[in-house]
Structure 1
Amino acid sequence: MMANCDYEELEEMDDDLEEDVFSPNIQQWKSMPLLNSDAKERYNDIADRSPEDSAKFPKHIKLMKNTDIGDVIKERALAFLPAKSLYRFKTVSKEWDQWINNPFFVHMQTTQFKEVSGLFCQPPGESPSFISLDPTAFGIPSEGLSFLPEPVDIRTTCNGLICCQGRGGDQAYYICNPVNKEWRMLPKPKLYHGPQTAIALAFEPAVFNFNANYELICVVNLPDTSVLCFEIYSSRTDSWRISETVCFELNSVALNGDGFYMKGYAYWETQCDAILAFDVKYETYGMFSLPPCREPTGALTEIRGNLFYLMPRKQDECSIEVYGDISMSLKHVIPLDPKALGNTDGLCRALSFVNDDTFILDLEGKIIAYNATSHKVECLRNARNYEGFAKYLPYVNSLVTVSRPVFSKWEDGI
């Protein structure tokens, strides 16, 4: 049985399997009957070639003469850079400026560059600001989102887009990108979105999503009921629709703030140790448990494409417990180097996990990036005490545009 095999036997089995599947016997291949005389001639031609002939560049492929390294960088490398660097490179030449402004390049950069570049921060009652993970590479021209028509509160982010809500009487929703200062005010929802409404922005950069279509999923608590409804805005139609899906789970009524989108699903924490998951495509929901030891200092986050929960622990030394899978069982315990952290007597709050190896932590208002591999600590913002928890949202420094919908009710004359 497989359980009784030792390590060497398993290796031999793997080698045999790989040879059978991926390395067919060359003698058998040679003895296979050819379909026709043309195929036989092509085979003989290949067999008679010398190594020198095989190394020659194919005659049917034309080489680009006088190809400049700048052209290669422009066409092959620029799309992998953040927006701040690209705005600098626009000054290289008029040709580069036109290329970076090209909608095809903008779309290419949106699909290629997905690295978290920093966090938008907003303390209670204050204007939002941007905390860059690397100020030399990542940045935005308007940190406070002053280009919007009114003061706003940041609600949620997704792959370069930010959803904000106005503080005015209408409390309108705005979708914007602070890099290019493009924004769009969403039409008024059909349902009343009270203070308990939780939202998540779903935007998936993809080759075929050229118009940067997105959806805003809002979980609305119907007044005087224990029922949650899902109202969804679609940028394709510039309209809201009320999903037929209704959540009757009594324990899910109280949501712990806004959620986030990942791989087709929107996730929200509830105040009853559970996670509410919503399938954006099929508009169905499910619930699964949070770790039983959850505390307000924990955070639901994405780690390498999977859903995890981060929980800071302070006993003799500080550590981060990482819970995962649908069971939210303990997967890892990451010790934090006390020498690198410095004074850890205060509150430690987990904010997010970004770019495959970095924890973002709040130590009494001091925002730090802790590299789980090298155990190096970088202070992103100096300590500052707030009354209540400030909101921190990860942001991708993308060129994504916020354009008008392809099918608009106004353009269709409705």
Structure 2
Amino acid sequence: MSALEVMHERRSRFVEDLAKRQRKDVEIIIRESALPYLPAKALLKFRSICRDWNLTISNPFFNHNQSHSHRKMSGLFNQPPSGKPSFISLDEAAYGVPDPSLSFLPVPVDIRSSTNGLLLCQGCINKLYYVCNPVNKEWTVLPKPSSQHGTDPAAVLVFEPSVLNFSADYKVICPFASIDFPGSTEFEIYSSGKKAWEVSREICFNKRVQSGSGIYINKTIYWTTAHGILAFDSINEHASAHSNYFILRATLVEMYGKLCYANLKCSKFTVSLVDLYQNTMPMNDKSHQSSSKFILDVDKTFTGNITNAQVLPSIGGDVFVFLAGERMASYHVFTGEFKVLSTTMRLSGKWFPYVNSLVSVSSN
């Protein structure tokens, strides 16, 4: 073999090896830097692509990483006044759960809260609380509380996925009517670490929260009251009532980690920042560092003659969902896309924003 042929062969091998390394690098980049940010339904589909992807997505460490990385709202669970829950997906090709009615749980339940991929449910008959992930159907039942939470408790699940904690550590915080101080609110807290309920020393006098109004944002829970907002610090167990907010026909939402209220009136959709320690500041107020007000003119063909159109609860701030009679639509802030999700929506009751996550729930 001549020197020229040897050189040509070496060059060919080098090019082939380089191409293989580049393909391998792309595979690693996708596997490590892209897959964890995808929703659970899409990932479960991708398991069939090849053996390596199946092993990767089935790995508990990957599931843990995905639960921390993927935080986008995937849709909403609906809990009717009586009957089984259901799930409305923002994109049926990407988001979904195998059993929206939650029939994998041992008893029929009502949904009470949804946080970062986990649902807090309550048995319709036994009134026990259940924490579950509707994607992998893992669940656990909590011990019976020591206090009476009422027939329609405003319990909220507190759960923050953490890279450092492999297990899902969470709390359940439930305000309840005080027996010792009529008209006031006390709080009972369940800790997955302690596996027990404890009544907090905190008491909020002369305030009662509205059922189903709780939203968890950055370690704080916010409930609406008859004439304002009640905030509860889940770390320090401190409650504060703010009576200068009368949120009529408005919905508490999270937008980029901030508490906001949103309403839809006369085809005009408005989101305003709620600053509990100052006044509600319009989002275009130049005295505030960030833009704190978002206004959108909704197509009148969607709302029609319906005057009681509403904004449904949402998290993240990327997508908002509207309900006008039997018509439901979503609006994507970044793309400006207005998407009709249904024209025959006959659901009523409470709505809970949901994140499609692979987070694991440890059973008792």
Q: Work out whether the TM-score is over 0.5.
A: yes
Structure 2 residue 225 is the aligned partner of structure 1 residue 270: yes
1:198: how far off? 1.6
Counterparts in 2 of 1:366 and 1:101: CA distance versus 1, 3 Å: same
Structure 2 residue 261 is the aligned partner of structure 1 residue 309: yes
How far, CA to CA, are the matches of 2:341 and 2:127 in structure 1?
Answer: 31
How far, CA to CA, are the matches of 1:395 and 1:202 in structure 2?
Answer: 14
Structure 1 segments unaligned to the other structure (5+ residues): 1-62, 406-414
Which residue of structure 2 lines up, in the alignment, with residue 98 of structure 1? 55
Structure 1 stretches (4+) deviating beyond 6 angstroms?
Answer: none
Amino acid in the other structure paired with 1:298: A
Which residue of structure 2 lines up, in the alignment, with residue 392 of structure 1? 351
Structure 2 residue 164 is the aligned partner of structure 1 residue 214: no
Counterparts in 2 of 1:96 and 1:384: CA distance versus 1, 3 Å: closer
Structure 2 residue 226 is the aligned partner of structure 1 residue 280: no
Q: 1:258, 1:268 within 8 Å by CA — same for their partners in 2?
A: yes
Which residue of structure 2 lines up, in the alignment, with residue 361 of structure 1? 322
Amino acid in the other structure paired with 2:200: S
Counterparts in 2 of 1:319 and 1:262: CA distance versus 1, 3 Å: closer
Q: Which residue of the other structure, out of 149, 156, 177, is the alignment partner of 2:133? A: 177
Q: Secondary structure at the match of 2:313?
A: strand
Structure 2 segments unaligned to the other structure (5+ residues): 1-17, 284-292
Which residue of structure 1 lines up, in the alignment, with residue 12 of structure 2? none
How far, CA to CA, are the matches of 2:210 and 2:298 in structure 1?
Answer: 34
**Which one has a bigger Cα radius of gyration?**
1
Q: 1:311, 1:320 within 8 Å by CA — same for their partners in 2?
A: yes
Q: 1:334, 1:372 within 8 Å by CA — same for their partners in 2?
A: no
How far, CA to CA, are the matches of 2:296 and 2:138 in structure 1?
Answer: 42
How far, CA to CA, are the matches of 2:20 and 2:320 in structure 1?
Answer: 47
How far, CA to CA, are the matches of 2:109 and 2:152 in structure 1?
Answer: 17
Amino acid in the other structure paired with 1:208: L
Structure 2 residue 364 is the aligned partner of structure 1 residue 401: no
1:229: how far off? 1.5
Q: Which residue of the other structure, out of 208, 225, 240, is the alignment partner of 1:253? A: 208
1:230: how far off? 1.1
Amino acid in the other structure paired with 1:338: D
Q: 1:162, 1:177 within 8 Å by CA — same for their partners in 2?
A: yes
Which residue of structure 1 lines up, in the alignment, with residue 7 of structure 2? none
After superposition, give the CA deviation of every residue in 1:367-391 in whole Å (9 maximum; x if it has no partner).
Answer: 21123465532122223445xx421
Percentage of identical aligned residues? 38
Q: 2:260, 2:271 within 8 Å by CA — same for their partners in 1?
A: no
Q: 1:159, 1:395 within 8 Å by CA — same for their partners in 2?
A: yes
Aligned residues: 333
Structure 2 residue 312 is the aligned partner of structure 1 residue 351: yes
Amino acid in the other structure paired with 1:299: T
Counterparts in 2 of 1:84 and 1:372: CA distance versus 1, 3 Å: closer
Q: 1:344, 1:363 within 8 Å by CA — same for their partners in 2?
A: no
TM-score, with structure 1 as normaliser: 0.75
1:363: how far off? 0.4
Q: Secondary structure at the match of 2:102?
A: coil
1:265: how far off? 0.6
1:179: how far off? 0.3
How far, CA to CA, are the matches of 2:209 and 2:21 in structure 1?
Answer: 65
Give the number of the structure with larger relative contact order, counting CA–CA contacts within 8 Å between residues 6 or more apart. 2
Which residue of structure 2 lines up, in the alignment, with residue 43 of structure 1? none
Q: 1:115, 1:396 within 8 Å by CA — same for their partners in 2?
A: yes
Q: 1:158, 1:203 within 8 Å by CA — same for their partners in 2?
A: yes
Q: Secondary structure at the match of 2:54?
A: helix
After superposition, give the CA deviation of every residue in 1:98-146 in whole Å (9 maximum; x if it has no partner).
Answer: 2212111111101111010110012221211111111111111111111
Q: 2:302, 2:327 within 8 Å by CA — same for their partners in 1?
A: no
Q: Which residue of the other structure, out of 76, 80, 89, is the alignment partner of 1:123? A: 80
1:334: how far off? 1.6
After superposition, give the CA deviation of every residue in 1:174-199 in whole Å (9 maximum; x if it has no partner).
Answer: 10010000011111011122125321
Which residue of structure 2 lines up, in the alignment, with residue 322 of structure 1? 272
TM-score, with structure 2 as normaliser: 0.85
Q: Which residue of the other structure, out of 151, 156, 159, is the alignment partner of 1:203? A: 159
Q: Secondary structure at the match of 2:312?
A: strand
Q: Secondary structure at the match of 2:100?
A: coil
How far, CA to CA, are the matches of 2:218 and 2:156 in structure 1?
Answer: 13
Counterparts in 2 of 1:268 and 1:73: CA distance versus 1, 3 Å: same
Q: Secondary structure at the match of 2:61?
A: helix
1:354: how far off? 4.4
Structure 2 residue 109 is the aligned partner of structure 1 residue 152: yes
Amino acid in the other structure paired with 2:255: I
Q: Which residue of the other structure, out of 336, 357, 380, is the alignment partner of 2:341? A: 380
